[in-house]
């Protein structure tokens, strides 16, 4: 009896020791580790990684934040675990962006922890568009075709003032298009968006630089920074002819372009334009799905230079609502886009400014479209 009791005690202690060893967590080295990237190969810095003991993150036992090189680690005991992750580019875990795009794992990644460290790299993918909307501006639009709502659209720039101070921003009063070097009221000379087939998307957009507004209008109502003779126009490379003061209420004035040529302008209209001086142009080269939005590779022409930029944007399907005009009520569809790109004003476009210096400039774009439905 005594021997049996002692044997039972020994067996019990052995089981406890064995169980403790099997479930022991080695805090000196991770049991599961890996790198999180998104589908274009970029590091998903700040992604949230979930560790669950059942599929589909149904029983999450730990979470980790991907570090500056996309890495994550879990210190756990032996067992079977399921990994999943999500990532938004506007997260504030380790960095922030102007606009957020969501990526996530397409399916759980299983990690079987036994003796050696398990490496499980995670590639996050975007979500496919669920709609099939197509927005296209036609050369000769009909009564039920899409129109660009320039009045409610915006192009805005932002940068850190003096490279280290608070943000300074401004926008352009005219977001217009160009046809044969003459003002024709068209805001986008080319625009087609295909929600389900982003490769079919293309656009060309022009911004009239002398229409810049930063809250400092013509004297005596402001400091004149936004005037045609002001420092903003000077920075953009747009000049008044011979340095003379221009009265915006005059019917006609002239601009000295960066190449020395002279162009004639009407206030809020254009008679003859040297595009490299009076306009910035953005032309798409390719468009792909990106996260829960889109990424367009574009050529930006500004200040006499053309450089490639990446435009990230979301499509907002919008809504339908009645609108009354001249006593007739019709149903209209309202849709829009939000996006941004970052440009290196000094190194890429030779913008010399003591206030902009070498910091990147973010360009935010919000464009609206309207279509009569019935």
244 preceded by cis ω (within 30°)? Answer: no
Q: What are the domain boundaries of the chain?
A: 30-124, 134-372
Q: Which CATH architecture has domain 30-124?
A: Sandwich (2.60)
- Per-residue pLDDT at 153: 87
Kindly state the tokens that stand for 94.
């380790």
Q: Is 162 helix (H, G, I), strand (E, B) or coil?
A: helix
- Per-residue pLDDT at 79: 92
Q: What is the pTM of this model?
A: 0.74
Q: Could you give the dihedral angle defined by the CA atoms of residues 227, 232, 237 and 243, in that order, rounded to the nearest 10 degrees?
A: 40
What gap in Å lies between CA 164 and CA 346, rounded to an integer?
16
- Per-residue pLDDT at 350: 84
- Per-residue pLDDT at 316: 93
For residue 325, CA distances in Å to 34, 321, 322, 331 come to: 60, 13, 10, 11
How many C-beta atoms lie closer than 10 Å to residue 334's C-beta?
17
Contacts of 23-31 spanning 24+ positions with Cβ under 8 A: 23/77, 23/78, 24/77, 25/75, 25/76, 25/77, 26/75, 27/75, 29/117, 30/73, 30/74, 30/75, 30/117, 31/74, 31/75, 31/76, 31/77, 31/78, 31/113, 31/117, 31/118
Could you say which of 2.40.128.110, 3.40.50.10860, 3.40.50.11810, 3.40.50.300 is the CATH number of the domain covering 134-372? 2.40.128.110
- Per-residue pLDDT at 110: 95
Mean pLDDT, consecutive 10-residue stretches, the chain (374 aa), reads 54 48 54 93 93 94 94 93 91 49 92 92 88 92 90 87 82 55 50 96 86 70 64 67 42 51 47 53 94 94 90 94 92 95 89 81 92 93
- Per-residue pLDDT at 274: 45
- Per-residue pLDDT at 209: 77
What gap in Å lies between CA 270 and CA 135, rounded to an integer?
28
- Per-residue pLDDT at 22: 45
- Per-residue pLDDT at 300: 93
Asked if 316 and 246 touch (Cβ cutoff 8 Å), the reply is no
Kindly state the tokens that stand for 131.
């709609």
């Amino acid at each position: 009896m005594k021997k049996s009791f002692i044997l039972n005690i020994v067996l019990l202690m052995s089981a406890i020791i064995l169980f403790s060893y099997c479930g022991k967590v080695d805090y000196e080295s991770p049991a599961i580790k890996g790198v999180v990237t998104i589908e274009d190969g970029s590091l998903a810095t700040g992604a949230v990684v979930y560790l669950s003991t059942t599929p589909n993150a149904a029983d999450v036992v730990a979470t980790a934040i991907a570090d500056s090189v996309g890495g994550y680690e879990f210190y756990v005991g032996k067992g079977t675990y399921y990994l999943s992750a999500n990532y938004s580019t506007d997260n504030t875990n380790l960095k922030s962006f102007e606009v957020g795009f969501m990526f996530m794992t397409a399916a759980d990644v299983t990690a079987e922890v036994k003796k050696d460290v398990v490496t499980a790299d995670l590639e996050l993918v975007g979500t496919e568009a669920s709609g099939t909307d197509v927005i296209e501006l036609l050369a000769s639009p009909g009564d039920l075709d899409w129109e660009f709502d320039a009045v409610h659209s915006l192009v805005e720039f932002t940068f850190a003032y003096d490279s280290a101070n608070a943000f300074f921003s401004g926008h352009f009063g005219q977001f217009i298009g160009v046809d044969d070097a003459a003002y024709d009221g068209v805001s986008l000379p080319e625009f087609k968006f295909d929600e389900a087939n982003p490769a079919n998307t293309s656009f060309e957009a022009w911004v009239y630089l002398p229409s810049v507004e930063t809250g400092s209008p013509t004297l005596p109502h402001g400091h004149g920074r936004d005037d045609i003779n002001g420092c903003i126009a000077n920075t953009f490379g747009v000049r008044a002819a011979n340095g003379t003061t221009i009265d915006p209420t005059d019917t006609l004035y002239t601009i000295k372009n960066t190449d020395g040529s002279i162009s004639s302008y009407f206030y809020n209209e254009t008679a003859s334009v040297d595009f490299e001086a009076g306009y910035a142009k953005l032309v798409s080269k390719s468009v792909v799905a990106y996260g829960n939005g889109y990424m367009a590779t574009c050529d930006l022409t500004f200040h006499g230079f053309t450089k490639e930029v990446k435009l990230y944007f979301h499509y907002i399907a919008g809504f339908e609502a009645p609108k009354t005009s001249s006593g007739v009520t019709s149903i209209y569809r309202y849709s829009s886009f939000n996006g941004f790109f970052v440009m290196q004003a000094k190194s890429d476009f030779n913008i010399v400014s003591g206030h902009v210096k070498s910091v990147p400039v973010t360009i935010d774009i919000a464009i609206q479209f309207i279509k009569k439905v019935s």
